[in-house]
Structure 1
Amino acid sequence: MAGNYTPKEKQFLKRLGKAIKEKRTEEGISQEKLAEITGLHRTYIGSVERGERNVSAINIKTLAGALKCKPSELFQIAE
């Protein structure tokens, strides 16, 4: 994971990634399909789901739209 994050920050990124993965699987969408829908690269989505990326607000909005939820819902799941 890039950056100097605290253990709590790293844990939050992992929980956020898990929330995104959970929503994706609920929707029955593969990483490849989510990448196609969002215009994001499949390997990027994988790294987000593993908590290896500090995903930008714009990308969270994009992912949430593709997953048919609000960005805030992803954060609520991550808490």
Structure 2
Amino acid sequence: MIHVERPLGNAADPAWAQLLDGAVIDDLDLDPVRPQEEHLHLRTVAGVEVDMSLDRDTHLRDGDVLAWDEPNLTAIVARVSPGG
């Protein structure tokens, strides 16, 4: 299980885009309402358990990098679906 307290950055940021180029990306699908919750226990597309304890002021955006394993070049990235 991976514990997340805040995003590390966003895949759209140039520095993260460069780091993630060629990396294995494991998406964590979220609807537009759930990212605002403070505590979530979910699974990524690949089945990795993610336990999120977010600060009240933290709002996840599509592309937020939640975990980064540099030696293995793998990342968990939030995918926030549009709509509501």
Shorter chain as denominator, the TM-score bin is: under 0.3
User: TM-score normalised to the size of structure 1?
Assistant: 0.26
Q: TM-score, normalised by structure 2?
A: 0.25
Q: Higher helix fraction: Structure 1 or Structure 2?
A: 1
Higher strand proportion: 2
